[in-house]
Structure 1
Amino acid sequence: MFDYKERRQKLYALMEERGIDLIFLPKHSADLDYLTGTERRVVTFGNVAYTHHWVAGAFLHPKFDPHFVLPRMIVEFDSPNGVDTNTTTVAELDDAYAKFSKVAQSYGQVKRIAVSARTWSETMMNLIKVFPDAEIVNAEEVVNRLRRIKTPQEIALMTKACHLVDGVLDNVKGRVLAGTAELDLKSEINFQMNNLGSKTESFDTAVWSMGPKNTRDASDRRTSNPLVEGMGVSFDFGSVIDGYCSDFGRTIYVGDPTSEYEKVYNLVMDAQAAGIAAVR
């Protein structure tokens, strides 16, 4: 779909500009997905940690293809599209550090290595052990320079993700009635997103009613409370299309809105229009 090699060539130019010899990105990194197309696991609340999970990631060097180091469990059970041919697999009984350091040291002298800000501390400790004299810098500051400007193809995917959630609310809004449980709406939204092609939710879906009849805190994002007349119901959810996310927020009033509510609504819409006009 994307020209990952072209993306890496741009990255390597930035590496040369900043004197970076090597980059390590963990398997769960969105940047690794962006640069290689490797599929990320959908995040779960439970902490998934395989044996030798700390090795999971890839080294990127201007003169070589990306080299992945992955635990056997990821290779065999967590890679639905297969793994790159340039992959070192670390089995449960292997010496993980020996395999990891062999790949890392194959790049020769490394004076400066860039590492994702979201790299596990165990990985960092072992990278420092492999490269005790190397300066460690934040890889995200480099990759972000590539990612902040979207291509037409990327914008099209983000637009698709936005249209998807728009369609979801259109399918669900008829159920925003007094007596409907917030949890039922949340479950229906997640089902609709998956049914329409979203890989998962881009963040935890929230449906909550707010207003004079409710003293709940805005951080209480999910209950099984029934909706009541005279309240606004806020929706906050997003979809994922080919790795690109949408973030969607809407409010629907239960019943007939008061004049004050309509006044505030119009103020918000006017402010939004002014903001859009200001950035164009």
Structure 2
Amino acid sequence: MSQKEQRLRAAQLAATTAGLDALLIPPSADLLYLTGYDAHALERLTLLVLPADGEPTLIVPRLERPAAEAADPHGVRIVDHVDGADPYDLVTAALGGAKPDAVGLGNRMWAEQVLALRAALPSAEQRLAGAVLAGLRLRKAPDEVEALRRAGQAIDAVHARMGQWLRAGRTESEVAADIAAAIRAAGHATVEFTIVASGPNGASPHHGTSDRVIAVGEPVVVDIGGRMPDGYCSDSTRTYCVGEPPAEFAAYYRVLLEAQRAAVAAVRPGVTAASVDAAARDLIAAAGFGDAFLHRTGHGIGLDGHEDPYIVAGNDTPLEEGMAFSIEPGIYLAGKHGARIEDIVVCTGTGVDRLNTLPTDLVIL
């Protein structure tokens, strides 16, 4: 049995356990995980119909059929529909004409598809497929860990070249354009984001870029990531300073560095996601910067850039071997500057494996 068939079977068993008659999965990381098909989300319906007991069917627009077949989704029957036909008739046919009591819909399915499926399957309670599939994707298999390691090495190679682009007199957007080209050159298939946040913009965790000119002595937060050809994602943040940093910034960066290292060191099987968040947050709060740490400590990563497990207060999920996630505390002083340090790590059988291996010390360019 191929890996794809094993994943499909595991999903069917999980659906049965959850009391679902079928999973209905649109273009998404879930579809890629189950079939290997990296489909485009279009107004034309693409949908994996995965009965809890029965043959899986992949419904695709006719013009997308060659791409679906090229993905070689073992154990999945492919059927297509032409423009103007009602593709939702194919959904009921794929279920053998049965009237399911409950179906799991892909968490990020378009509303128009949700409503059309409600009309096509009026007896079915609609629930989230993510509650079933997250459990399968949560623990990465060894080959997935290696895929994430390759992604981490590729984004590390970009950070290692930052001194070529990041300097006073250039705009954030100019630096970001160079970074984007380097992300592709390092082996990524796509660039997912390039945050270059200088000076006061660094106090906004998701700033993006702007035409602001970088000045001497300014800290710059650089958070970058992409998607590799196999679908696995990279994500890494380092904070730089163009020249000697302000004394206030240097002081709280030392706090942040200690907090990030403490959170990484806290990772091991059996501890909760919340306890890893606390390992970073408590140190930052004790230093007087608790209100300046504006977000959770981390998020899971794999075929999605953000997925379970989330490293956040209140999440009492115990960590297990194979769980992969970011450790990225930050301190942000509005109107002044900010800093973030982010590594992707994997929980191992005995501790933690850091997939981003560059130093986390402040880099002065």
* TM-score by shorter chain over 0.5: yes
Native 8 Å contact 2:202 2:221 kept in 1: no
- How much is the aligned-residue C-alpha RMSD, in angstroms? 2.4
* Segments ≥4 residues shifted beyond 6 Å: none
Native 8 Å contact 2:36 2:72 kept in 1: no
Partner of 1:44: none
Cα 1:267/1:167, change in 2 over 3 Å: same
Which whole-Å CA distance do the structure 2 matches of 1:176 and 1:107 have between them?
Answer: 60
User: Residues 1-280 of structure 1 correspond to what in structure 2 (within 5 A)?
Assistant: 3-26=3-26, 28-41=27-40, 49-50=42-43, 53=44, 55-75=45-65, 81=70, 86-104=77-95, 106=96, 108-201=98-191, 203-211=192-200, 219-241=206-228, 242-280=230-268
Partner of 2:292: none
What residue identity is the alignment partner of 2:267? V
* TM-score normalised by length of structure 1: 0.85
Q: Shift in Å at residue 83 of structure 1?
A: 6.7
Native 8 Å contact 1:30 1:40 kept in 2: no
Which whole-Å CA distance do the structure 1 matches of 2:37 and 2:183 have between them?
Answer: 23
What residue identity is the alignment partner of 1:144? A
- Name the SS for the 2:15 alignment partner: helix
Native 8 Å contact 1:75 1:82 kept in 2: no
Q: Shift in Å at residue 108 of structure 1?
A: 2.3
What residue identity is the alignment partner of 2:239? T
Unaligned runs of 5+ in 1: 42-47
Which whole-Å CA distance do the structure 2 matches of 1:112 and 1:80 have between them?
Answer: 29
Which whole-Å CA distance do the structure 2 matches of 1:168 and 1:143 have between them?
Answer: 33
Which whole-Å CA distance do the structure 1 matches of 2:60 and 2:52 have between them?
Answer: 21
- Name the SS for the 1:206 alignment partner: strand
Q: Shift in Å at residue 254 of structure 1?
A: 0.6
Which whole-Å CA distance do the structure 1 matches of 2:20 and 2:113 have between them?
Answer: 19
Q: Shift in Å at residue 80 of structure 1?
A: 8.9
Native 8 Å contact 2:165 2:178 kept in 1: no
Cα 1:80/1:114, change in 2 over 3 Å: closer
- Name the SS for the 1:244 alignment partner: coil
Unaligned runs of 5+ in 2: 269-365
Cα 1:65/1:276, change in 2 over 3 Å: same
What residue identity is the alignment partner of 1:102? A
Which whole-Å CA distance do the structure 2 matches of 1:22 and 1:80 have between them?
Answer: 22
Cα 1:13/1:144, change in 2 over 3 Å: same
Identical aligned residues as a percent: 26
What residue identity is the alignment partner of 1:39? D
Native 8 Å contact 1:22 1:61 kept in 2: yes
Q: Residues 58-85 of structure 1: CA distance to partner in whole angstroms, max 9, x if unpaired?
A: 1012443421111234335x65935757
Which whole-Å CA distance do the structure 2 matches of 1:215 and 1:184 have between them?
Answer: 17
What residue identity is the alignment partner of 2:241? Y
Deviates more, 1:124-133 or 1:17-26: 124-133
Q: Shift in Å at residue 198 of structure 1?
A: 0.6
Native 8 Å contact 1:21 1:112 kept in 2: yes
Native 8 Å contact 1:172 1:188 kept in 2: no
Which whole-Å CA distance do the structure 1 matches of 2:25 and 2:202 have between them?
Answer: 44
